[in-house]
Structure 1
Amino acid sequence: MSDILIAKELRHRFRAAILADGISVDQGGDAVAVEILETLPAGWVLKDEKLPALYVFATGEGLDHGQSISEVVRSLSLAVALMARPGGDPMDQLDDLQLAVEKKVLAAGNFGLAQSCRLLSVEIARNQGAAIIGTRIMNYEIVFGVTPGDPSL
């Protein structure tokens, strides 16, 4: 057994793939670097100078014991919150940012541990039920297997 949960390692590898070589978006003809957040701010509110930004976080994990006694199939749900900078067209920024994230995740493949990684949905973010315009959530599923008695790396 290892001291590292496989889901934790996959989350870190997923985030590292997005961080590789940085990301920038066009805002009125100028390339603006995207801030990669370590934590999500309360109420999803950031100062304008911190935008555009993104944040990666786990939203859940499913387990399927199926018919096999030698493997448990797990599915890690990860979300990437994309946040646009005020000014210009925030939807254009979010489109560019989404494309950059999708390309980086596709290039990373299965992170050396997973059976698959796929984008499930993209939606407008919500806070207390209200839509947050200028913020988009990309929902990913990473499927991997572990032995029933050891969920570690």
Structure 2
Amino acid sequence: MKPFECIFHPKKGVGPINFGQSFTAIKNIRGFKLKRFDPDPDTPPTYDNDPLDLTVYQDEDGKVRSISCDEYLYVDGENIIGMQINDALRLLGNPQYELEKDFELWEGEVQDIYNIEALGMSLWTTSDGEILSASLDDGDYED
């Protein structure tokens, strides 16, 4: 999988990776390698693809639950990671969102989160609106 293939499909997936897809199917995607890491032994495994800076989260059934993109996520041919939030929202069709201001991550690092429920998307930004990452899911999972 190449960076330009990281195309956002609302509530469906990213590129050839679909929510609800088995990890066996993902491992068969040509040129796409995942490295397993388990940040919390009490949760299902998580997988990273370093060249794309993409993380795939597994559910209890061994299927794709959500995807996090930290380097590439294309909408209408444009990479929204690094874009200003207002430009990305326009590109996404000006969807309604819920804003979580000053969300503290760790060691005092703070980001704003734009939750766009209709698209199954959360955009994490700096205080000046630059998109740092996107968290994506199909919207059918309970927290």
TM-score (norm 1): 0.25
- Which structure has the larger Rg over C-alpha atoms? 1
Q: Which has the higher contact order (CA 8 A, sep 6+)?
A: 1
Higher relative helix content? 1
